Amino acid sequence: MTPGLPRAIGSKGSDLASTDSAHRAEPTRRDFLYIATGAAAAVGAVAVAWPLIDQMNPDAAALALATTDVDISTVAPGASVTVKWRGKPVFIRNRTPEEIEAAKAVPLADLPDQNSRNENAPTATADDSNRAAAGKENWLIMVGICTHLGCVPLGQHGPFGGWFCPCHGSAYDTAGRIRQGPAPENLHVPKYEFVSDTQIRIG
Amino acid sequence: MAGTSTYQPKSGFAKWFEARLPIVGLVHSSFVVYPTPRNLNYWWTFGAILSVMLGVQIITGVVLAMHYTPHATLAMGSVEHIMRDVNYGWLLRYLHANGASMFFVAVYVHILRGMYYGSYKEPREVLWILGVIIFLLMMATAFMGYVLPWGQMSFWGATVITNLFSAIPLVGESITTWLWGGFAIDNPTLNRFFSLHYLLPFMIAGVVILHIWALHVSGQNNPTGIDIKSKDDTVPFTPHATIKDSFGIICFFIFFAWFVFFLPNYLGHPDNYIPADPLKTPAHIVPEWYFLPFYAILRAIPSKLGGVIAMFSSIAILIFIPWLDTSRVRSATYRPLYRQFFWIFVATGIGLGYLGSQPPEGIYVIAGRILTFYYFAHFLLVMPLIGILERPKSVPSSITEAVLAKTRSGHGAAESKA
């Protein structure tokens, strides 16, 4: 691969080593051609490999399903709906005043994950106001996938009255924040907006 | 130990062919006259059993692929079509599904045999590492095969396992999206898993060839762990090993057939007959039995990334045992202390398997942590320390001497096999 490096090392073949050291001093045109050819081949191999790797990423059809509109007029307080967005379940919950109070009463220091995990307020803390819909604190909209290993948590289950994952025992509170168990993060809040008072667009 | 071929082509055509492609000579020197230790016991037949099981899986798999449809809405229907409509479809599918379990039964025996008799020790390190690679490929193949019926366990097993990669810092999420071909497990995932499930067995076959090649370079280990010293220590592969392996294969096939015909769903999970539902996770997700010990290790660590690292390490650590074992003696037959710890290790593995099937709460979590600790301690503490502390029993000077001593002390004048 690298001509010019000594081919023989050690006591044997000292003649060879001395002739080689003469070569080593001055790289030749041939050395340059070897390296240039090798570099071109490496770039070519990467260029060929990339389409073979990238074909596994989400295709145009999957990306086209990027937004989903949901009518929430029928979701009464204390009820939830689960809709499918990009193949994932999204929980839309109309929280009761008790649930909101319970979530607000939790001091930030008690939370294992203090980031809001809210794509609409990416850097905010995990206070209830940063988890619920802006200005509509009864609405909680989250991707229904446990942040541990991707199971769908059960609603209104578990020790904190929020969500509970049956797979490995992660428990979330009424604001969907992780409180107990192996999950590292709060349930993620996707990007969404209220198109009208009864219609939201996820994505 | 491969020995030069003594094959002498007789007919004119055979001479002509051998001069152009000496494959008959290769087979002759590798599987006919190949000198195999005269004291191999039945634990040594599992290599042949595994080769045959790979063949069974490839043949039944290729024909199942003629009837299966890798599509999220059609997969389960096509599996039921195989079970009800296709001629002998029920037999082919049960052979394939139970064949996977049997493959793992055999590979665990094979690995433990290697650990008991020190088959990983110098000069067989590369042979052993090739075996670990085969084991990893087998696990990947079995996992993707289990996804194909697209039942609830298929779907949620795939979700949990692919989400392991999301634990990788920074790039984890991109990797899972790439693996899925979407934002969740869906049809693109099923399609690619089918493609890879078809590919990987042939990669296994390739590594098996390297494994056998390496075996024939260093020669087989044997129950005494002593090197072959003279021609008296060996017998020709055919008929001795051929017949012994064949008998082992037939006994194993009886065990296999018992499951296929009488307990075809015993090793599966009933939830996998419920079609996959991306919005509802079953109450208890458990992997197939052969993954349970590793699943228990995953759950024993109370951190997502930590659990994933522990699980992968529990397999990767096997690569290093040729260097972790410090003993000069290969076979546990002459290692009184190691032999006891070997069986403790086997019990630990079975215990982890049991814990992996239980819900992750209370005493099961604590027991899981203790056994996980011991699993790693066996490799990182017990193996290096025992090699130094233990006083091995005196090792016979040759395989022949060991065989004759056993025959002489045995009751009823057991006949020497030589």
Confidence band for A102, pLDDT divided at 50, 70 and 90: confident
Of B333, B323, B314, nearest in space to B372 by CA: B314
- pLDDT tens for residues A41-89? 999 999 999 999 999 999 888 887 778 888 988 888 888 899 988 888 9
Residue A23 has pLDDT above 90, yes or no: no
Confidence band for A14, pLDDT divided at 50, 70 and 90: very low
| Per-residue pLDDT, B80 | 96
Amino acid, single-letter form, for residue A44: G
| Per-residue pLDDT, B351 | 97
pTM for the model:
0.87
Q: Please indicate, yes or no, if residue B17 is contained in any of the structural domains.
A: no
Q: Please indicate, yes or no, if residue B4 is contained in any of the structural domains.
A: no
Tokens standing for B140? Answer: 């990947």
Of B413, B17, B45, B101, nearest in space to B250 by CA: B45
Confidence band for A8, pLDDT divided at 50, 70 and 90: very low
DSSP for B152-165, please give it: HHHHHHHHHHHHGG
Other CB atoms within a 10 A radius of the CB of residue B266 amount to 11
Rounded mean pLDDT, B76-90 = 97
Q: How far apart are CA B409 and CA B389, in angstroms?
A: 30
Q: Please indicate, yes or no, if residue B1 is contained in any of the structural domains.
A: no
Radius of gyration of chain B (CA): 24
In CATH, what number is assigned to the domain containing residue B385? 1.20.810.10
Residue B122 has pLDDT above 50, yes or no: yes
Other CB atoms within a 10 A radius of the CB of residue A103 amount to 25
Least confident range of A7-16, A169-178, B319-328, B402-411: A7-16
Candidate list A23, A148, A157, A168, residue with the active-site label: A168
Of B399, B271, B295, nearest in space to B353 by CA: B295
| Per-residue pLDDT, B131 | 97
CA distance A9 to chain B (A): 27
Rounded mean pLDDT, B37-46 = 96
- pLDDT tens for residues B239-277? 999 999 999 999 999 999 999 999 999 999 999 999 999
Q: Please indicate, yes or no, if residue B43 is contained in any of the structural domains.
A: yes
Active site residue A23: no
| Per-residue pLDDT, A19 | 53
- pLDDT tens for residues A176-201? 999 888 888 999 999 898 988 888 99
Q: Please indicate, yes or no, if residue B13 is contained in any of the structural domains.
A: no
Q: Please indicate, yes or no, if residue B20 is contained in any of the structural domains.
A: no
Cβ atoms A175, A103 nearer than 8 A: yes
| Per-residue pLDDT, B203 | 98
For residue A148, the chain B residues in CB contact (below 8 A) are 163, 304
Q: Please indicate, yes or no, if residue B362 is contained in any of the structural domains.
A: yes
Cβ atoms A78, A96 nearer than 8 A: yes
For residue A164, the chain B residues in CB contact (below 8 A) are none
Residue range(s) defining the domain that contains residue B99: 31-228+236-409
CA distance B174 to chain A (A): 9
Q: Please indicate, yes or no, if residue B244 is contained in any of the structural domains.
A: yes
Distances (CA, A) of A78 to A100, A131, A165, B72: 11, 17, 20, 34
- pLDDT tens for residues B354-413? 999 988 778 998 999 999 999 999 999 999 999 999 999 999 999 999 998 887 775 544
* Nearest CB neighbour to B160, from listed A59, A86, A167: A167
Q: State the DSSP H helix or E strand holding residue B64, giving kind and residue range, or none if neither.
A: helix B46-65
DSSP for B101-151, please give it: HHHHHHHHHHHHHHHHTTTTSTT-HHHHHHHHHHHHHHHHHHHHHHHTT-B
| Per-residue pLDDT, B410 | 57
Domain count, chain B: 1
